[in-house]
Every structure is written in structure tokens, then in C-alpha cells.
């Protein structure tokens, strides 16, 4: 009987530990670095909640997102919105991003000639921010490994 109680106690402790680890991942935060200006109205040093537990298939257009482009501190934190999902067609027409033939309302005019369409590859997202700095307009569709998490919202 004591062995059964002890086993149950260990299982409860493991479950509690696992729950704490998941909660900490889900409740992590990301801070806007000094001088970041790719999204209007983000105040430097402001901290935003970041949900790192989002599975790739749960992303949808319009979700606020944080991503990392590389090990450089300069490119480590980027903010924006999901514009297109895997399989979507994106193109630039008259300075605007179009997704599956519909104009995307986010972001400034894009100073590029008309181009595309391209299809977003599997396990990639097409993300944009207001000024198109460090987003998919500049670097192409982002792989799942670059995604840091979903944010509650952006201004």
C-alpha cells in the first residue's frame, strides 16, 4: 500500500512540474529593443506577452507575431503580422501586398516593382510589419524555426 501511495505522489509531482514548465513557456515575454521602428506605436523597452506554445497549424492571417532572423542582436527580435499561410499566393501589385488576389491592409506602400505571385512553402509563413524591415518582403517566407511566438496584439 505504501508503494502505491509513493508512486501516486511521484506521478503527481511529475505532472505538477510538467504543468509549471508549460505555464512558464506560455507566459514568457519579449521586450521591444531600443530603436526598433518597424511597427508604429511600439514603445522601446515595452514588454509584450509571447505565447510560445502555438502549434504551427494554429497560425492564421492577422495574428501578431514575433520572429527571429538570426543570431545577430540586431535581427533577434522582429514584430509584425501573419499575412499568408503555406500554399497561399502572394504578390506585389501597385505597391501593395496581395494574398490570393486580395489586397492586404497592413503596412506602408512597398517600394518595389510589381512581382510575383509566389506560393508560400510548407512550414513557412509570410509575415509583414509596417515598414517592411526584416519581414517577408525583405527576406522571403519565414520557416517555422524562425517563429518565436504569437503575441496578444500589437498597436
For each successive 10 residues of the chain (155 residues), what is the average pLDDT? Answer: 81 75 63 82 82 89 90 76 96 94 88 91 95 89 92 78
What separation in angstroms does the CA of 5 have from each of 1, 19, 102? 6, 21, 61
The confidence score (pLDDT) of residue 2 equals: 85
- Residue 39 and residue 81: Cα distance in Å, rounded? 10
Let me know the angle formed at the C-alpha of 119 by 116 and 122, rounded to the nearest 5 degrees. Answer: 155
| Separation CA 50–CA 54 (nearest Å) | 10
Residue 4: strand, helix, or coil: helix
Do 124 and 143 meet the contact criterion of CB atoms below 8 Å apart? Answer: yes
Grouping H, G, I as helix, E, B as strand and the rest as coil, residue 83 is: strand
Radius of gyration (Cα) for the chain, nearest Å?
Answer: 20
Predicted confidence at residue 107, as pLDDT, reads: 80
What is the residue extent of each domain of the chain?
Answer: 29-151
Per-residue pLDDT, 46: 82
Residues of the chain by 3-state class (helix, strand, coil), percent to 5: 25, 30, 45
Please spell the DSSP secondary structure of 99-135, one letter per residue.
ETTEE--SSPPP-S--EEEEEPPTTEEEEE-TT-SSS
pLDDT at 90: 96
Overall CATH class of domain 29-151: mainly beta
Amino acid at each position: 500500500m505504501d508503494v502505491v501511495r509513493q508512486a501516486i505522489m511521484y506521478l503527481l509531482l511529475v505532472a505538477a512540474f510538467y504543468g509549471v514548465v508549460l505555464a512558464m513557456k506560455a507566459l514568457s515575454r519579449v521586450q521591444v529593443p531600443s530603436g526598433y521602428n518597424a511597427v508604429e506605436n511600439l514603445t522601446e523597452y515595452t514588454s509584450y506577452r509571447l505565447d510560445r506554445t502555438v502549434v504551427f497549424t494554429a497560425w492564421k492571417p492577422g495574428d501578431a507575431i514575433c520572429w527571429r532572423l538570426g543570431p545577430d542582436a540586431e535581427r533577434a527580435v522582429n514584430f509584425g503580422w501573419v499575412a499568408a499561410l503555406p500554399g497561399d499566393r502572394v504578390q506585389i501589385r501597385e505597391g501593395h501586398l496581395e494574398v490570393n488576389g486580395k489586397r492586404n491592409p497592413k503596412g506602408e506602400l512597398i517600394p518595389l516593382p510589381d512581382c510575383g505571385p509566389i506560393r508560400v512553402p510548407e512550414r513557412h509563413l509570410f509575415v509583414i510589419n509596417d515598414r517592411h524591415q526584416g519581414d517577408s518582403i525583405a527576406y522571403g517566407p519565414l520557416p517555422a524555426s524562425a517563429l518565436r511566438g504569437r503575441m496578444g496584439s500589437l498597436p
